Amino acid sequence: MPETHTNPLDAATADPFEIAQRAADDIARLTGVEKHDIALTLGSGWGRAADLIGETTATISATDVTGFSKPALDGHVGTLRSILLENGTRALVIGARTHYYEGHGVRRVVHSVRTAAAAGATTMILTNGAGGIKDHWMPGTPVLISDHINLTSDSPLEGATFVDLTDLYSQRLRDIAHRIDPSLDEGVYCQFRGPHYETPAEVQMAKTLGGHIVGMSTALEAIAARQAGMEVLGMSLITNLAAGIQATPLSHEEVIEAGRAAEAEIGNLLARIVTEL
Ligand code: HPA
């Protein structure tokens, strides 16, 4: 569907950081919260966490915030929430993810992360629903992202901007998560462009390269978060075994259903992690 409004990020002369600052100003005005401490992007299956981590003090529509687009998909909520945790931490929950496969360019993909940084957040929690390569990961298993392989051939960094990605998925934050749930496994996340699911051969390629999780988000956002100096925690909900690892064909319905079945459990887990940060 054609969009009815233009996005300022698409202008040739746009400065994405200035637009992120405008978005952060919108959030401060609309939520009444001047500064947020942490931000969470909730992917497929993770939505319930927003209700469990604290008291929602404001819910705003993403389309009222500069540079945000309408979500392309049902099951992805187009809202931003300001949540007050019991320990006084202010969390910005981003329920509006722009995926790379939408074809609007990487600036729009990482706008929410840059906005969170401009809003004051120093921790970025990125969650997603994804396919699992380790065959003992049953659908509904949450796993920590230990590193990524960016297979989009793209980057949110523009020009000669050299950013170190060692320890991109913070060991400190993973240690906290492990303390809360010692059974949590870890894996290397491979971001494919999508929106098609991978072929079995591509899954085997990802496995050979050292990947354990396949998905269509997160890596580009994590790079932008690191550029902004944020500490990153990445978590995937394994909604299905990756193509060729499971015998049956993949479907979006299966992904949504696995998310639904697991949402209370992983919401609780995320809520416990967030209070320890
Ligand atoms: N591949 C890519 N993205 C996904 C998958 C998958 O198997 N499952 C959920 N999102």
- Calculate mean pLDDT across residues 149-175: 96
Q: What is the dihedral of CA 155, 130, 177, 77, to 10 degrees?
A: 80
Query: Confidence band (pLDDT; 50, 70, 90) for 5?
Result: low
Q: Are 241 and 137 in contact (CB under 8 A)?
A: yes
Q: Give percent of the chain above pLDDT 70.
A: 96
Task: Round to whole Å and give the CA distance between 84 and 86.
Answer: 7
At 106, phi and psi to the nearest 5? -75, -25
Q: Are 34 and 23 in contact (CB under 8 A)?
A: no
Residues forming beta bridges with residue 127, ordered by sequence position: 235
Place of tokens 């290397």: 188
Quick one: pLDDT at residue 28? 98
- Whether the per-residue pLDDT at 74 is higher than 90: the answer is no
Task: Round to whole Å and give the CA distance between 116 and 94.
Answer: 9
Question: Residues for the chain: how many in total?
Answer: 277
| More confident site: 182 or 74 | 182
Place of tokens 């019991």: 86
Q: Are 189 and 222 in contact (CB under 8 A)?
A: no
- Whether the per-residue pLDDT at 45 is higher than 60: the answer is yes
**Who contacts 32 (Cβ-Cβ below 8 Å, separation ≥6)?**
57, 58, 82
- Calculate mean pLDDT across residues 116-124: 98
Give the Å distance between the CA of 36 and the centre of ligand 1: 31
Quick one: pLDDT at residue 2? 46
User: In the structure, which protein residues have their CB atom closer than 6 angstroms to any atom of ligand 1?
Assistant: 129-131, 197-198, 214-216, 239-240, 242, 250, 255
Q: Which of 44, 191, 218, 255 to mutate to test the pocket of ligand 1 (most atoms within 8 A of CB)?
A: 255
- DSSP, collapsed to helix, strand or coil, labels residue 272 as helix
Could you tell me the two tokens for 244? 């060729």
Quick one: pLDDT at residue 76? 53
| More confident site: 1 or 142 | 142
Quick one: pLDDT at residue 1? 42
Nearest CA to ligand 1 atom 3: 215
The string of DSSP codes covering 187-237 is EEEEE---SSPPPHHHHHHHHHHT--EEESSSHHHHHHHHHTT-EEEEEEE
- Calculate mean pLDDT across residues 70-76: 60
